[in-house]
């Protein structure tokens, strides 16, 4: 059984920064607002586009600077978009014609069947999924074209997860944990090649 947030987008309604398991955020109905009202999360349409996306933007900037988008590659063409947190700690975006537009697929496992899972938007712009206050997924691990204060480049040697900043046609990532590469993605004869524009490495010295 699902429930939508009780607080619609209304100037006299207290903003919420958290959703619990089986609660929903729907297009044009509800948003999450971080505690200090720094960031807001919800569905939006950029410019004159008819496509809908789930994203995070600066709350206090009038033109709505978007800093993160969940379904960049899979926009929704109508108003049926819905974001839901299930009891397994998985954030899922659905639409009327597509039961799985996007999914967070948390890397960390749940603590147990009786654990309390919530999704919370922080004042850093980070959307986190918490299982009994333990972070099992965060949007900072999956940046788009914006690098926010507090983000860290990292690579998990167990899961293979690594931070990549993608602002087409460029890509920024660490290679072998010591060298930072800015590359240009070029499509040539249906194959993807990379030209290195800038690289930086931290030099280490022996005592």
Cβ(139)–Cβ(147) below 8 Å: no
Domain of 160, in residue numbers:
153-207
Q: How far from 164 is each of 19, 127, 143, 180, 192, CA to CA, in Å? A: 27, 17, 7, 10, 16
- On average, the pLDDT of the chain sits at 75
Tell whether 148 is covered by a domain. Answer: no
Looking at residue 38, its pLDDT comes to 95
Tens digits of per-residue pLDDT, 125-162?
A: 999 999 999 999 999 888 877 878 887 665 554 444 45
Residues 27, 127 within the same domain: yes
C-alpha torsion sign, points 55, 60, 62, 65:
negative
Residues 83, 137 within the same domain: yes
Final residue of a structural domain among 143, 164, 187: 143
pLDDT level of residue 171 (50, 70, 90 thresholds): low
Tell whether 104 is covered by a domain. Answer: yes
Tens digits of per-residue pLDDT, 21-65?
A: 989 999 987 899 999 999 999 999 998 899 999 999 999 887 678
Helices then strands, counting H and E runs in the chain, come out as 0, 17
In whole angstroms, give the CA distance from residue 151 to residue 155. 13
Residues 55, 28 within the same domain: yes
Query: Taking the model in full, what pTM does it have?
Result: 0.72
Report residue 106 as tokens. 């948390």
């Amino acid at each position: 059984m699902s429930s939508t947030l009780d607080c619609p987008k209304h100037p006299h309604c207290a903003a919420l920064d958290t959703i619990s398991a089986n609660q929903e955020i729907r297009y044009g109905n509800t948003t999450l607002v971080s505690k200090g009202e720094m960031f807001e999360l919800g569905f939006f349409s950029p410019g004159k586009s008819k496509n809908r996306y789930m994203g995070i933007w600066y709350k206090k900037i009038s033109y709505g600077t978007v800093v993160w988008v969940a379904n960049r590659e899979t926009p929704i063409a109508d108003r049926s978009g819905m974001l839901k947190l299930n009891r397994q700690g998985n954030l899922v975006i659905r639409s009327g014609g597509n039961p799985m537009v996007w999914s967070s697929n948390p890397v960390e496992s749940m603590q147990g069947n009786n654990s309390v899972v919530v999704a919370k938007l922080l004042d850093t712009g980070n959307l986190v999924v918490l299982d009994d206050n333990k972070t099992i997924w965060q949007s900072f691990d999956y940046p788009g074209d914006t690098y926010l204060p507090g983000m860290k480049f990292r690579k998990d040697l167990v899961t293979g997860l690594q931070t990549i900043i993608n602002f087409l046609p460029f890509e920024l990532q660490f290679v072998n944990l010591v060298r930072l590469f800015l590359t240009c993605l070029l499509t040539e004869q249906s194959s993807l090649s990379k030209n290195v524009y800038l690289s930086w490495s931290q030099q280490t010295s022996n005592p």
